[in-house]
């Protein structure tokens, strides 16, 4: 019989152990994200894959906030995060620290997610506003653009869904033996 595991039997690490653990060399940049539920979901995904850090830029809300906590379920306590008022400033600062920057967007020269190869870490991935996406100015200074293939009638996915898909695919490329 296939029995559901209890919370105790999952043997999850503590917040302190998480903070001291080796992180996946991916940083997430959220630029002008309006939905606090999306922000919380990105925190939860980041916890699941031990993401290095989240940068919250522009109008993106910051913890602590009840609406973020509803979906983060405590991940705002484990995942390191920082606020920067300007996404372009955040990107430029990370580039100075030798991060490769990839915008998650649909462009004329985007690379399909399944074809994307990580040649160097650490990397930072930029997710833009729910309506307008990643700003062109940020795309212009990115090292590349990654696109999630889609086959339906809609032209985009929810930001938290996009983040989950991209992070999982990048995680598998970085940590193939997970």
The number of C-alpha atoms within 13 Å of 166 and in the hemisphere containing its C-beta is 32
Is 8 part of a structural domain of the chain? Answer: no
The CATH number given to whatever domain includes residue 130 is 3.40.1280.10
Residue whose tokens read 């105790």:
8
What pLDDT sits at residue 9?
Answer: 87
Residue 5 lies in a domain: no
**Is the residue at 3 inside a domain?**
no
Does residue 148 belong to any structural domain of this protein? yes
Instruction: Please report whether residue 6 resides in a domain.
Output: no
When pLDDT is cut at 50, 70 and 90, the band that residue 177 belongs to is low
Q: What residue numbers bound the domain in which 161 lies?
A: 21-174
CA distance 59 to 149: 28
Whether 81 is covered by a domain: the verdict is yes
* Helix, strand, coil share (%) of the chain residues, nearest 5: 40, 20, 40
Given pLDDT bands bounded at 50, 70 and 90, which one contains residue 178?
low
Do residues 11 and 38 make contact, with C-beta atoms less than 8 angstroms apart? no
70, two tokens: 């509803």
106/156 Cα distance (integer angstroms): 9
* Position 172 pLDDT exceeds 60: yes
Does 65 reside within a domain? yes
- Residue 98 Cα to chain centre, angstroms: 18
* Assigned domain for 61 exists: yes
What is the phi/psi pair of residue 96, to 5°?
-65, -20
Say if CB 90 and CB 66 are below 8 A apart: no
DSSP string for 68-91 = HHHHHTTHHHHS-EEEES-HHHHH
Specify the pTM.
Answer: 0.95
What is the Cα–Cα distance from 161 to 42, expressed in whole angstroms? 9
Give the residue-averaged pLDDT of 22-48. 98
Number of domains comprising the chain: 1
pLDDT of 171 higher than 80: yes
């Amino acid at each position: 019989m296939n029995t559901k595991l209890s919370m105790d039997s999952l043997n999850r690490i503590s917040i302190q152990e998480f903070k001291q653990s080796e992180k996946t060399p991916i940083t997430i940049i959220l630029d002008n994200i309006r939905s606090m539920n999306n922000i919380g979901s990105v925190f939860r995904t980041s916890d699941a894959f031990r993401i290095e850090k989240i940068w919250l830029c522009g109008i993106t809300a910051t913890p602590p906030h009840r609406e973020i906590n509803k979906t983060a379920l405590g991940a705002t306590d484990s995942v390191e995060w920082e606020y920067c008022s300007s996404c372009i400033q955040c990107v430029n600062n990370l580039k100075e620290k030798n991060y490769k920057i990839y915008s998650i967007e649909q462009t004329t020269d985007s690379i399909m997610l399944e074809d994307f190869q990580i040649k160097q870490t650490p990397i930072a991935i930029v997710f833009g506003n729910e309506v307008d996406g990643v700003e062109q100015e940020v795309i212009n200074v990115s090292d590349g653009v990654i696109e999630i293939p889609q086959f339906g009638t809609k032209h985009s996915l929810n930001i938290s869904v996009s983040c989950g898909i991209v992070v999982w695919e990048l995680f598998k490329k970085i940590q193939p033996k997970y």
